[in-house]
Amino acid sequence: MKVQVNRTYNFNAGPSALPITVLEKAQQELIDFRGTGMSVMELSHRSKPYEEVHNQAIDSLRELLSIPDNYEVLFLQGGASLQFSMIPMNFLQPGKQAAYVMTGSWSEKAFTEAKLFGEVYHSASTKEGKYRSIPKVEELQFKNEDAYLHITSNNTIYGTQWKEYPNTGEVPLIADMSSDILSKPIDVSKFALIYAGAQKNLGPSGVTVVIIRKDLLAQANTNIPTMLKYGTHAKNNSLYNTPPTFGIYMLGEVLNWARELGGLKAISELNDKKANLIYDAIDSSNGFYIGHAEKDSRSLMNITFNLKTEELEKRFLAQAKLEGFVGVNGHRSVGGCRVSTYNAVPFEACKAFSEFMIQFQKENN
Where do the domains of the chain lie?
26-260, 263-364
Q: From 123, 159, 166, select the one nearest 297 (Cα to Cα).
A: 159
pLDDT value, residue 254: 98
Q: Which of 162, 176, 180, 257 is catalytic?
A: 176
**How would you write the pLDDT of the chain (365 residues) with one tens digit per residue?**
344 567 899 999 999 999 999 999 999 999 999 999 999 999 999 999 999 999 999 999 999 999 999 999 999 999 999 999 999 999 999 999 999 999 999 999 999 999 999 999 999 999 999 999 999 999 999 999 999 999 999 999 999 999 999 999 999 999 999 999 999 999 999 999 999 999 999 999 999 999 999 999 999 999 999 999 999 999 999 999 999 999 999 999 999 999 999 999 999 999 999 999 999 999 999 999 999 999 999 999 999 999 999 999 999 999 999 999 999 999 988 889 999 999 999 999 999 999 999 999 999 98
Cross-strand pairs, 298:
160
C-alpha span between 268 and 140 (Å, rounded): 27
308 catalytic residue (yes or no): no
Catalytic residue among 106, 146, 184, 229: 106
How long is the chain?
Answer: 365
**Predicted pLDDT of residue 4:** 52
User: Which class is domain 26-260?
Assistant: alpha beta
Per annotation, catalytic residue among 162, 180, 184, 200: 200
Burial of 115 (0-12, 13-18, 19+ CB in 10 A): middle
Q: Which pLDDT value is given to residue 7?
A: 86
pLDDT reported for residue 5: 62
3-state secondary structure of 147: coil
Report yes or no: 341 and 279 within 8 Å, Cβ to Cβ. no
Q: Which CATH superfamily is domain 263-364 in?
A: Aspartate Aminotransferase, domain 1 (3.90.1150.10)
176 catalytic per annotation: yes
Task: State how far the Cα of 280 lies from the Cα of 128, in Å rounded to an integer.
Answer: 27
What pLDDT, on a 0 to 100 scale, did the predictor assign at position 1?
37
Q: Dihedral sign for Cα 68, 72, 73, 79, please.
A: negative
DSSP state of 12: -
Answer yes or no: pTM beyond 0.95: yes
Alpha helices in the chain (DSSP H): 20-29, 48-65, 79-91, 105-114, 214-217, 230-235, 245-261, 263-283, 310-322, 347-364
Please state, in angstroms and as integers, the Cα–Cα distance from residue 300 to each residue in 51, 155, 158, 269, 287, following that order. Answer: 35, 10, 12, 11, 21
